[in-house]
Chain A
Amino acid sequence: MALEKPYQDVPGTTIFDAEQSRKGYWLNQFCMSLMKAENRARFKADEAAYLDGWPMTGAQRAAVRARDLNECIRLGGNIYFLAKLGATDGRSFQQMAGSMTGMTETEYREMMLRGGRSIEGNRFVGEDGDAQAHRQPQGAAGKTSDKEV
């Protein structure tokens, strides 16, 4: 019997279940290593060399180098592990969370000051809320990076 996943119809959301955890095992364990100051220093000095010490996939390494947290999560990462990478870069949880929406830091912060993202239209895949796939990216940050690509 397959793993029961009643949460797959929630838009813009990846649940860190056993399957994701298995995919992301080394990615997440690499992140854990950054809880030691000396490892943070080694990583910052030469990211590629440090990442080579971990049996991660090429796609996982590339996502880490790009600080693409959505991609890291798709490849099995979990935000509480990835937060160690963010902390190494001196970034807050708000900066990390905002980076996954396509908004600039200011746009995301202002959304939170207005009371946060609304639940309306964001409960089920197929509604029309701002977290739905057809409405990405949400802000100026995402649009800029599209142009650069």
Chain B
Amino acid sequence: MARVTASVYTSHVPAIGAALDQGKSDEPYWRPLFRGYDFSKSWLAGQRPDVVFLVYNDHATAFSLDLIPTFAIGMGERFDPADEGWGPRPVPPVFGHPGLAAHIAQSVVQQDFDLTLVNRMDVDHGLTVPLSLMCAGPQGADPAWPFKVIPFAVNVVQYPVPSGRRCFQLGQALRRAVETFDEDLDVQIWGTGGMSHQLQGPRAGLINREWDNAWMDQLIADPAACSRVPHIDYVREAGSEGIELVMWLIARGAMADVAGGAAPQVAHRFYHVPCSNTAVGHLILEDT
């Protein structure tokens, strides 16, 4: 049977992709940020998951204002990096896992979550930057990402966006879905976005280090309480774009302790300011 082995949490700032793609990762501005992922790269290489279920948000890339799905699951064989206006990132396409995606869709919809099923879409920095941060490749010899990826896009751009509580419940349904899939697969759930940042208006550049870290503490220790944080708290304390953090609750809801098991082990924790306009947060939780 398939199993959830770990969850990974990280910001997905587009400038990180640009810095990597332009070979700037050793510059003094960027070095401290990438150093925070050194552990993660070797950890992931050791874990060798078969599939990563990657929760991210589309930034007006695959979904314009014509169609705004709250939760969209990628069912296809292949998803290409999008041209967001700067040209597509020079990274490999993502290969999906249509069999597991179909099973998750079936299971999660039957558990009362109304997913949008997507067979064709391009994936933007929200999905490719976490892959670049966590994978030692595919720069150089290895031309492909080392695992299958099921993209899962959450609307956090146009209100109404889903509540933290709904995301947390979805994570629980997701764990049940994975655990009932017949194939022997190691699956990781990644929750991305955040942390505090605001990209608009006179309050642009807001960073709230204290709130971010308290929120991360609560996400680890008491995720149910964390899931009850109302939207307005994210907006007020972590900036208008800080609302992306609700996506971390999907990954957290999929951990064993939420289903009555043991508390996860914190394998890694990292926080860094600034990355462009954003506070970067990163966590790895392992089921024990």
A interface list, Cβ under 8 A from B: 6-7, 10-18, 21, 25, 28-29, 31-32, 34-37, 40, 69-70, 73, 78-81, 83-88, 92-94, 96-98, 100-102, 108, 111-113, 115-117, 119, 122-124, 131-133, 136, 138
Given contacts A32-B65, A100-B204, A116-B279, 15 further A-B contacts (CB under 8 A): A13-B200, A16-B158, A18-B159, A31-B60, A37-B87, A78-B158, A83-B60, A93-B276, A116-B274, A116-B277, A117-B206, A119-B208, A119-B211, A131-B202, A133-B202
Closest 9 CB pairs of A and B: A116-B207, A87-B85, A12-B203, A12-B202, A131-B203, A112-B274, A17-B159, A80-B60, A97-B204
Q: How far is the CA of A124 from the CA of B237 in the complex (A)?
A: 10
B199: min CB distance to chain A, Å: 5
Can you show 12 pairs from A to B with CB atoms below 8 A apart?
A: A11-B202, A14-B201, A18-B158, A29-B66, A32-B60, A40-B85, A97-B200, A101-B202, A101-B204, A116-B274, A116-B277, A117-B204
**Which residues in chain B, 148-168, are within 8 Å of chain A measured between CB atoms?**
157-160
For B200, the chain A residues whose CB sits under 8 A away are 13-14, 69, 73, 79, 97, 100
B interface list, Cβ under 8 A from A: 14-15, 18, 59-61, 64-66, 82-87, 157-160, 196, 198-209, 211, 231-232, 235-237, 239-241, 273-274, 276-277, 279
Most chain A C-beta atoms within 10 Å of own C-beta, residue among B59, B158, B198, B201: B201
Question: Does the CB pair A15–B235 fall under 8 Å?
Answer: yes
Question: Does the CB pair A13–B60 fall under 8 Å?
Answer: no
Question: Does the CB pair B85–A17 fall under 8 Å?
Answer: no
Where chain B touches its partner, the secondary structure class is loop
Question: Does the CB pair A83–B205 fall under 8 Å?
Answer: no
A93-B276, A94-B276 given; A122·B203 CB < 8 A: yes
B102: min CB distance to chain A, Å: 29
Question: Does the CB pair B201–A12 fall under 8 Å?
Answer: yes
Report which of A40, A79, A93, A138 forms a contact with B202, defined as CB distance below 8 A.
A138
Q: How far is the CA of A92 from the CA of B274 in the complex (A)?
A: 15
For A88, the chain B residues whose CB sits under 8 A away are 85
A109: min CB distance to chain B, Å: 9
For A36, the chain B residues whose CB sits under 8 A away are 83
Most chain A C-beta atoms within 10 Å of own C-beta, residue among B203, B211, B240, B277: B203
